[in-house]
Amino acid sequence: MTVAPDRATLLSFDSFSNSVDVINTEKETQSGAFGLGGSTTSMIALSTGYAYAAVPSVPFTAGASPGAVVVMNYLTGGIAAIIGVPNAQTVVASPDETQLLVFGGDPQLTHALTVMSPLLVNTGSQVTTTVTGFDSPVFAVFSADSSTAYVLNCGAQCLGTQASVQTLDMATLTVGAPIPVNGATVAFLSGSTLYVAGKGTPTGPLCASIASAAATQAQYCGTLDLVDLTTLQDPYYNNPASEIAITDGYHNRIDLSNNGQLFVGSYGCTNIGNVGNPQGEVRGCLSIFNTTNGTVVIPPDNGDVTGLQSFTTRDVEYVAEGGTLRVYDTLIDALLENSINPTGTITTTGKIIDVKAIDFF
């Protein structure tokens, strides 16, 4: 799901019909739908009234690799444009909404990403620009003023060479030197610290090789790096004594609570034990990093993490994990269990895939 900046509209992808439902959040009613022609795992809604979905399977040009960004007008309805981007997987918007970064690219050009100018769609001007010089880029985080994008290179985890972070000057499209990290598929920017999660190789490092890894039956772990953007250095890189171990899998969910608890989620991780029958270690795809004291909690749960939502006015984090909606107390990094919700779980019908805040934060 994705929410428009004014929070009056929510877009929800339906994997059964490969369509996007438009929800009026004030009336809590459906106001329309768009057929995408393929599946998406990444879309963004802008305040302009347009939304952008990366659809890797959409055929665009005969003889070329499939993939496109589908542009939807969620206010008036209809597909506004289809912009060809081979194997488009992920789309990220700058805070000022003037530029989009599209990741995926041609499988033969894994060193490139696409810069898209959403305001130029249907104007007859060039809408996309290919920028090279990366190492299997998969995601980016923008500075608050939109001037710089911090691009995550997946590296060897995605059949490239080395996981790293590279700056991209959005005015000149100049690419900075790589800052090596242990793994890089998702990141969160807080102040001058960029929190970067990944596993660096197809398997990830051995848990036993990382000093901070608690005793676990899991063979492989992921890592969390803290990149100082004032010095462009990562003191955690390739240093087993200081590396921060988290669960393995492909990390693509990250969120910071209002009291400094960093929630990192992945899919395809090593699940240990059974949350329904907790005999010994129970482990899933969620890690919680305390940014104050540097400790990591691996909650006793199983399953892929597919949604995270924090609040600025409450010490809680909503987590969609294993198809279930959990509520964590971020003061203790454990499930919020009380007389109203004794298990810390919100019971619903069906499998929970995502969670978004609409009316309050």
Strand 179-180 to 186-190 pairing: unpaired
Burial status of residue 70 (CB atoms within 10 A of its CB: 0-12, 13-18, 19 or more)? buried
Both tokens assigned to 359 = 């009316």
**Buried/exposed code over 84-119 (b: 16+ C-beta within 10 A; e: otherwise):** bbbbbbbbbbbeebebbbbbbbeeeebbbbbbbebe
From the CB of residue 347, how many other CB atoms can be counted at a distance below 10 Å? 8
Separation between Cα atoms, residue 4 and residue 94, nearest integer Å: 14
Strand 29-35 to 9-14 pairing: unpaired
Please tell me the pTM assigned to this model. Answer: 0.95
Cα 214 to chain center, whole Å?
26
pLDDT per residue rounded down to tens, the chain (361 residues): 999 999 999 999 999 999 999 999 999 999 999 999 999 999 999 999 999 999 999 987 777 789 999 999 999 999 999 999 999 999 999 999 999 999 986 555 579 999 999 999 989 899 999 999 999 999 999 999 999 999 999 999 998 999 999 999 999 999 999 999 999 999 999 999 999 999 999 999 999 999 898 889 999 999 999 999 999 999 999 888 899 999 999 999 999 999 999 999 999 999 999 988 888 999 999 999 999 999 999 999 999 999 999 999 999 999 999 999 999 999 999 999 877 777 889 888 899 999 999 976 5
Separation between Cα atoms, residue 201 and residue 179, nearest integer Å: 17
**43 near 56, Cβ under 8 Å?**
no
Strand partners, 44: 52
Segment (H or E) for 309: strand 305-310
* Nearest in space to 96 (alpha carbons), one of 140, 150, 55, 142: 142
Quote the Cα angle for 96-101-105, to 5°.
170
Separation between Cα atoms, residue 39 and residue 20, nearest integer Å: 10
Segment (H or E) for 224: strand 222-228
Strands in 100-103's sheet, in edge-to-edge order, are 90-93, 100-103, 112-116, 128-132
Separation between Cα atoms, residue 45 and residue 70, nearest integer Å: 12
Residue type (1 letter), 20:
V
Strand partners, 335: 328
**259 near 240, Cβ under 8 Å?**
no
Separation between Cα atoms, residue 196 and residue 154, nearest integer Å: 11
Separation between Cα atoms, residue 350 and residue 241, nearest integer Å: 43
Strand partners, 286: 265
